[in-house]
């Protein structure tokens, strides 16, 4: 008799679950993230933050949420525009709240789940913590967790999305950052013409110029711009003359080691055609200007990378033909599918 | 008949348990269940009660007036008389002590197994293991830290200790500001663990909530084993002095007494 009551009760409970507030419950619809076959393994640990459709949806909403900023306008997506591989098109430096201007060029957001260290100087080593830097920076979003959490707790859409995205459903800083991390993990660029070439897929035929450029690149650039992610995640001084009005000491700020002065993270070159201007301070507006720097603009200093000072010669010798070929190759890294993928777009 | 037997058995069991209570030694009887334990962090300055905006003279002759004094206490572990330990669940073991906010001086730890405790240990800062997990397990602590001004925004890290104020010395005769912030910098993680012996055991019982009164001598941060001359540089948020300050924290805390009420 007792058993019957229990069963009946259990049945009613199940019934109420499926019928009632189903919208407000955790929705464990996993996203199966596949590492592209030409990529190195993921560095981000998905087991602590399994990707789900609702987690990603929440992360995307947060990424484009102007109300996280003190002025209600400057979202992550404000400076990270998809069509420019999530950089700030044409901006040497970006403007944050109240017209404040930063001192470093907005880096792209792509394939971050394969990186071990973030920002131009490597100020943070965890993808989930990285957003804290622009979110709380007084000259970027000037945001505040308490205000953001209060805003979201009073917003029906966020109430629903947090409940659906996380088992505990809590609207707190941990889940906010985890959702943003899910969005960033998904923002993967792996379908450029070059990727198709590497994977022997349709659309992967490189022209003679592009192939010649790839050969030059492998010979003269790939020691730093390594793997199909085009970075070895190291910090190097690439011989840029120091801009005295900024005197950006780079990696030294983090490590306080003299040997790290003026070193910056080797950036990926994916979608490089779309991410001008170039370098940590956005000083070069064209790829030609970048290659001219490497061939004839490198200046010596105590921390100059040894690869740029070989046999008493500064820089990387490149003929005009080689430069044209390398640029042709670099343009094969443009991933139009990524740049227009509606899953990542604001509207 | 069946029910009667059951009832009799229950009565016997209950009376036996009463008997055991009154007969047995207190260790068994008193250490059943769980209770609470309170840690009080009472700020002092070189043997004197601490107050903001009050001039204190350090051993190097520098006169300081403090206006910010905060630190993160984490990973509390309690040692029992038999040497075994109780570790407060990690997710419930991060606190910010802020001299300015009285309510933060008293940490209440619930669900502590009843026992006689002889030692308490805790970390100053957020341990690397936790930090390396990213957002996982931090729940709202990032928010708490930001509200308390204990986040190093530029590196998405935590300030472990913040001591700020004004000072004068023989070379700095006009009051100048000083700021000492510890935390992860460069290759130094700067987290350290403090272990304190209790002068009297803390007797956690279902009916007794001991309060461990800890004196935190703020002077030791800059005027401890390593004497930091603020005149040589009054903004210390990194560099070679930070590990010296972190080492000083080891001698900053002392248990003054334990209440077993």
What are the tens digits of pLDDT across the range B85-129?
A: 999 999 999 999 999 999 999 999 999 999 999 999 999 999 999
Query: Quick check: B27 pLDDT over 80?
Result: no
Chain A residues near residue B139 by CB distance under 8 angstroms: 170, 172-174
A249-253, B154-158, B163-167: least confident range: B154-158
- A20-189 under CATH 1.10.760.10, yes or no: yes
Shared-domain flag, residues B5 and B53? no
**Residues whose CB falls within 8 Å of the CB of residue A80, separated by 6 or more in sequence, listed in order:** A63, A86, A87, A88, A106, A108, A109
Tell me, which fold does domain A193-337 have in CATH? Answer: Cytochrome Bc1 Complex; Chain D, domain 2 (1.10.760)
Chain A residues near residue B151 by CB distance under 8 angstroms: 132, 136
Q: What is the rounded distance in angstroms from the CA atom of residue A67 to the CA atom of residue A151? A: 8
Q: Tell me what pLDDT residue B261 has.
A: 85
Q: Tell me what pLDDT residue A24 has.
A: 80
Measured between alpha carbons, how far apart are the two ends of chain B, in Å? 48
Q: What is the rounded distance in angstroms from the CA atom of residue B149 to the CA atom of residue B156? A: 12
What are the tens digits of pLDDT across the range A275-290?
A: 999 999 999 999 999 9
Number of A to B CB contacts under 8 A, please give it.
89
The label of the residue with tokens 């400076």 reads A79
Shared-domain flag, residues B92 and B153? yes
Chain B residues near residue A178 by CB distance under 8 angstroms: 135-136
| High-pLDDT (> 70) share of chain B, % | 89
The total of other beta-carbon atoms located within 10 Å of residue B177's CB is 12
Of the pLDDT bands very low, low, confident and very high (cuts 50, 70, 90), residue B188 is: confident
Query: Quick check: B20 pLDDT over 60?
Result: no
Token representation of residue A278: 């170039």
Q: What is the rounded distance in angstroms from the CA atom of residue B214 to the CA atom of residue B198? A: 10
pLDDT (average), residues B125-154 = 93
What are the tens digits of pLDDT across the range A51-86?
A: 999 999 999 999 999 999 999 999 999 999 999 999
Mean pLDDT (chain B) is 90
CA atoms within 13 A of residue B203's CA, in its CB half-sphere: 10
- Which ipTM score applies to this complex? 0.84
Shared-domain flag, residues B207 and B251? yes
Shared-domain flag, residues B11 and B102? no
Domain with CATH 1.10.760.10 in chain A: 20-189, 193-337
Query: Which is more confident, A239 or B25?
Result: A239
Shared-domain flag, residues B18 and B74? no
Query: Quick check: B186 pLDDT over 50?
Result: yes
Taking the CA atoms of A169, A175, A181 and A183 in sequence, report the sign of the dihedral they define.
positive
Instruction: Report the domain count for chain B.
Output: 2
Interface of B with A in 182-211 (CB under 8 A): 185-187
Q: Tell me what pLDDT residue A17 has.
A: 44
Interface check A256 vs B, CB under 8 A: yes
Whether the CB-CB separation of A192 and A340 falls below 8 Å is answered with no
Q: Tell me what pLDDT residue B6 has.
A: 54
Of the pLDDT bands very low, low, confident and very high (cuts 50, 70, 90), residue B187 is: confident
Of the pLDDT bands very low, low, confident and very high (cuts 50, 70, 90), residue B243 is: very high
Chain A residues near residue B147 by CB distance under 8 angstroms: 144-146
Shared-domain flag, residues B17 and B115? no
Q: Tell me what pLDDT residue A142 has.
A: 96
Q: Tell me what pLDDT residue A273 has.
A: 98
Low-confidence stretches of chain A (pLDDT < 70) are: 1-22
Chain A residue nearest residue B152, CA to CA = A133
Shared-domain flag, residues B187 and B203? yes
| High-pLDDT (> 90) share of chain B, % | 81
- What is the span of the domain harbouring residue B11? 1-30
Query: Quick check: B213 pLDDT over 70?
Result: yes
Shared-domain flag, residues B53 and B104? yes
Shared-domain flag, residues B15 and B53? no
pLDDT (average), residues B156-182 = 97
Q: Tell me what pLDDT residue B238 has.
A: 87
Mean pLDDT (chain A) is 93
Q: Tell me what pLDDT residue A18 has.
A: 43
Q: What is the rounded distance in angstroms from the CA atom of residue B216 to the CA atom of residue B50? A: 10
- Which residues of A171-220 form beta strands (DSSP E)? none
Which residue of B130, B144, B149, B156 to mutate against A (max A Cβ within 10 Å)? Answer: B156
Of the pLDDT bands very low, low, confident and very high (cuts 50, 70, 90), residue B28 is: low
């Amino acid at each position: 008799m007792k058993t019957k009551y229990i069963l009946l009760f259990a049945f009613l409970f199940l019934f109420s679950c499926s019928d009632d507030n189903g919208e407000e419950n955790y929705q464990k619809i996993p996203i199966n993230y596949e590492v592209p076959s030409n990529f190195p393994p993921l560095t981000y640990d998905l087991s602590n933050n399994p990707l789900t459709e609702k987690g990603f949806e929440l992360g995307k909403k947060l990424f484009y949420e102007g109300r996280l900023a003190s002025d209600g306008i400057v979202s992550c997506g404000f400076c990270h525009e998809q069509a420019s591989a999530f950089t700030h098109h044409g901006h040497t430096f970006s403007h944050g709240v109240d017209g404040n201007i930063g001192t470093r060029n907005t880096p792209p957001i792509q394939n971050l789940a394969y990186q071990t260290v973030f920002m131009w100087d490597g100020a943070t080593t965890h993808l989930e913590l990285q957003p804290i830097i622009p979110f709380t920076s007084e000259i970027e979003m000037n945001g505040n967790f308490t205000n953001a959490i209060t805003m979201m707790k009073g917003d029906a859409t966020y109430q629903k999305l947090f409940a659906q995205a996380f088992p505990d459903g809590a609207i707190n800083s941990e889940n906010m950052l985890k959702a943003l991390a899910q969005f960033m993990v998904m923002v993967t660029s792996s379908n450029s013409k070059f990727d198709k070439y590497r994977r022997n897929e349709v659309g992967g035929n490189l022209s003679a110029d592009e192939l010649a450029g790839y050969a030059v690149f492998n010979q003269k650039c790939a020691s730093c711009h390594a793997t199909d992610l085009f970075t070895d995640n190291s910090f190097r001084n690439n011989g840029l003359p120091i801009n005295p009005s900024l005197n950006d000491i780079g990696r030294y700020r983090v490590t306080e080691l003299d040997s790290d002065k003026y070193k910056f993270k080797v950036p990926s070159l994916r979608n490089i055609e779309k991410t001008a201007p170039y370098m940590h301070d956005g000083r070069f507006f064209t790829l030609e200007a970048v290659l001219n720097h490497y061939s004839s603009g490198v200046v010596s200093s105590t921390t100059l990378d040894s690869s740029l000072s070989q046999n008493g010669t500064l820089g990387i010798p490149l003929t005009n033909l080689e430069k044209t070929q390398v640029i042709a190759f670099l343009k094969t890294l443009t991933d139009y599918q990524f740049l227009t993928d509606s899953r990542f777009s604001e509207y | 008949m069946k029910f009667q037997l059951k009832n009799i058995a229950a009565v016997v069991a209950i009376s036996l348990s009463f008997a055991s209570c009154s007969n047995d030694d207190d260790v068994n009887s008193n250490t059943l269940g769980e209770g609470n334990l309170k840690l009080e962090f009472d700020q002092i300055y070189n043997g004197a009660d601490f107050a903001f905006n009050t001039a204190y003279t350090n051993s190097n002759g520098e006169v300081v007036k403090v206006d910010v004094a905060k630190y993160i206490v984490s990973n509390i572990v309690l040692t029992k008389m038999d040497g075994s330990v109780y570790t407060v669940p990690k997710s419930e073991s991060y606190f910010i002590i802020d001299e300015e906010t009285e309510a933060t001086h008293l940490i209440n730890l619930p669900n502590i197994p009843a026992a006689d405790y002889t030692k308490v240990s805790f970390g100053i800062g957020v341990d690397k293991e936790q930090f390396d997990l990213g957002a996982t397990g931090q729940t709202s602590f990032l928010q708490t830290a930001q509200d308390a001004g204990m986040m190093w925004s530029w590196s998405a890290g935590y300030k472990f200790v913040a001591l700020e104020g004004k000072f004068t010395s023989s070379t700095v005769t006009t009051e100048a500001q000083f700021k000492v912030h510890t935390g992860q910098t460069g290759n130094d993680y700067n987290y350290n663990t403090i272990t304190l012996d209790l002068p009297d055991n803390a007797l956690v019982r279902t009916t007794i909530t001991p309060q461990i009164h800890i004196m935190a001598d703020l002077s030791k941060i800059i005027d401890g084993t390593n004497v930091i001359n603020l005149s040589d540089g009054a903004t210390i948020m990194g560099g070679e002095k930070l590990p010296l300050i972190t080492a000083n924290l080891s001698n900053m805390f002392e248990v003054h007494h334990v209440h077993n009420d």
